[in-house]
Chains A and B, each alone.
Chain A
Amino acid sequence: MTFSLKRTMAIFQKDYKDVSKNMYVSFTVVIPIFMAFLYGWQGNMTIDMHYVVFNMTLSLVGAYVQCSLIAEEKEKNTLRGLMLSPASTLEILAGKSLLTFITTMIIIVLSAYIVDYQPESMGLVAVGMILSAIFYIGLGTLLGLVTKSVMEASVVIMPFFFIFTFGSFAAGLAEKFPILKVAEYMPNSQLVELAKAVEAGGGFGDVWTYLAVISAWIAASFLLAYATFKKRMMD
């Protein structure tokens, strides 16, 4: 079986048209931009505050849109049609992930522009963002496979949304509660640390550990998603 870019693009275009008419999802996409405006008006923001917006974008757009795209196919009984078509599972997921990825990137660039965020090294931050987006897409795929409808998906995503958006604050409490030290290794905290290191003028040598941890999260989410998929298809 060869990977067909044509079929992937067909699924991408179909989903793009579908999502653009779906108020339920497109409204969610707009929320981070609202947040960016709110923070932007307040002015002189810290790195932490910038990254609340970015992490919110990643979890709301990256994970939630991916999750609802898959959940809706299941809810409307269209996934079986796709599975019976010549398109392989990989092509179906690639088409959907591509859409989510592009949307996430657009929203991040937009909100970065709104909050006037200019990192010292654009390249390193971009790599961090892209890796994070891939992790959240993996997470969204995993949740989409577990949930059965868009409604269920929007409930399931909530705890993840809170953990990954505001979880980085938990690291601040780590002195009081040693257990919260774990929070430092969350992908969102790692992204913030990376940004801080970049802001302090660090090069690739200083930030590669953060990128490595995020990559480990990516591997974990994709492995889990794959395992879930295998298990679900057996039913």
Chain B
Amino acid sequence: MSILKINDLEKHEEHSLVFPAFCLEVSEHEVVAIHSSTNVRTVLVKLFLGELPVSSGELSINGQELTKSKDAYFDQVGMYLLDDGLYERLSVKDHFSFFQKLYGSELSMDEALRMTQLEPKRNIRLSRLTASEKRRVHFGRLLFQNPALFIFEEPDQNTDLETKRVFLKLVRKLSEKGKGVLVLTGNMESALSVTDKVCRLDETGLHVLDVVFDEETTDAPSKEEFKSEDQIIEEEIIIQPVRFEKIPTKVNDKIVLFDPPEIDYIESNEGQSNIYIKGEMYPSVFTMTELENRLHPYGFFRCHRSYIVNLQKVREVVTWTRNSFTLVLGDAKKSSIPLSKTKMAELKGMLGLK
């Protein structure tokens, strides 16, 4: 049974499209992360809060809609938002006892302190805590509230390792208890560390990322094994009758697969090839030559010794002098990529120019 149900939700701001209609469901025990730009995230949060009206589509939590009953809706959802405040003059203990009474919670103070790792700080005023510790107090508030759906906005942005660890543990525990968790973040790494179900939401819509759990690194094999496995993988690729269509990248201990058309360009840096997608960098497991061979059928072009570019994304070819060229891409950042003069002739040929 799904807790959060988003059906054909769509948002326009003034005349521009923030995101087109998309559907998303978060069910019990499920943790979903939405990776988006700050703008999209802010709009999403406002929709959840009811500060912006849901103009088209539906948004319901446990069957409760905001427009029908505000109280029933907010009973079902607990939110941690970036600009939430706390009472600076009260201690952690005061906060927790206040939350406990406010939400009429059964959770004991010690349990909450333990889960947020704030035991040593219990009698310390909030103004003397670090930003990371304050965030854990917020997490404590949600524990006391104990709603069906938890929404976290950038939960581990600018926090220390301890808080990240507490957060990950918390999310795991919540999902075990049958809660739904939705994480809104602009950081792919943080999204991937929380869950395997990562979606990207932007003006082109909602895309679910294929994440394959990478067992190689979690098992921490010795170097030799690592090498042999690598060889096996290479052999497999050679044997594979169907051409592998997705390009794997490695983020932490996970492998994220991308469709070749998503890729903007690839840059090689000190022997490591990095794939750029919408301004984010993902280290690739392949070398430039391997990538060039794999991606050639998809309209990719090795424009420089250390660059491969997706020709579909090239907007302009700028000629600086007779021998120096730059490719400007049509992405949001207008990335520019060098083009070697030897490759210029080849490119012209591909474009059908003389």
Interface residues of A (CB under 8 A from B): 1, 4, 6-7, 9-11, 13-14, 17-18, 21-22, 76-78, 80-82, 84-87
Contacts and interface: CB of A to CB of B under 8 A. Distances in A.
Contact of B83 (A1, A4, A77): A77
Contact of A78 (B49, B71, B74, B87): B87
Contacts of B84: 77-78, 80-81
A21 B87 CA distance: 11
Contact of A14 (B49, B87, B88): B87
Given A77-B83, A78-B86, A86 B71 contact: yes
B94 A1 contact: no
B141 to A, nearest CB: 7
Given A10-B98, A17-B90, A86 B104 contact: yes
Interface residues of B, number: 22
A135 B102 CA distance: 28
B101 A9 contact: yes
27 contacts: A4-B104, A6-B101, A9-B101, A10-B101, A11-B98, A11-B102, A13-B98, A14-B87, A17-B89, A17-B90, A18-B87, A21-B89, A22-B89, A76-B85, A76-B86, A77-B83, A78-B85, A78-B86, A80-B49, A81-B85, A82-B102, A84-B49, A84-B79, A85-B145, A86-B71, A86-B74, A86-B102
| Majority-rule SS of A interface residues | helix
B93 to A, nearest CB: 10
A76 to B, nearest CB: 4
A85 B98 contact: no
A62 B326 CA distance: 70
Given A10-B102, A13-B98, A77-B83, A1 B88 contact: no
A225 B23 CA distance: 42
Given A10-B101, A81-B141, A86 B85 contact: no
Given A76-B88, A80-B84, A82-B102, 9 more contacts: A1-B71, A4-B104, A6-B101, A11-B98, A18-B87, A18-B90, A80-B49, A81-B141, A86-B74
Given A78-B87, A81-B141, A17 B104 contact: no
Contacts of A22: 89
B298 interface: no
Contacts of A77: 83-85
Contacts of B90: 14, 17-18, 21
Nearest to B125: A21
A81 B79 CA distance: 9
A186 B96 CA distance: 44
Contacts of A86: 71, 74-75, 102-104
Nearest to A4: B104
A1 to B, nearest CB: 6
B160 to A, nearest CB: 22
Contacts of B104: 4, 6-7, 86
Interface in B56-86: 71, 74-75, 79, 83-86
Nearest to B83: A77
Nearest to A83: B74
Contacts of A4: 104
Contacts of B103: 85-86
A81 B138 CA distance: 10
Nearest to B79: A84
Contacts of A6: 101, 104
A191 to B, nearest CB: 34
A24 to B, nearest CB: 10
A18 B87 CA distance: 7
A21 B94 CA distance: 12
A14 B98 CA distance: 6
A7 B101 contact: yes
A77 B79 CA distance: 14
A11 B90 CA distance: 13
Nearest to B141: A81
Contacts of B101: 6-7, 9-10, 13
A220 to B, nearest CB: 29
Interface in B20-77: 49, 71, 74-75
A4 B74 CA distance: 17
Contacts of B85: 76-78, 81
Contact of B74 (A14, A21, A76, A84): A84
B333 to A, nearest CB: 32
A176 B98 CA distance: 56
Nearest to A1: B71
A86 B98 CA distance: 13
Contacts of A17: 89-90, 94
Nearest to A79: B85
A64 to B, nearest CB: 18
Nearest to B78: A84
A159 to B, nearest CB: 28
A85 B86 CA distance: 14
Contacts of A9: 101
A9 B101 CA distance: 9
Contact of A85 (B83, B87, B89, B102): B102
Nearest to A72: B87
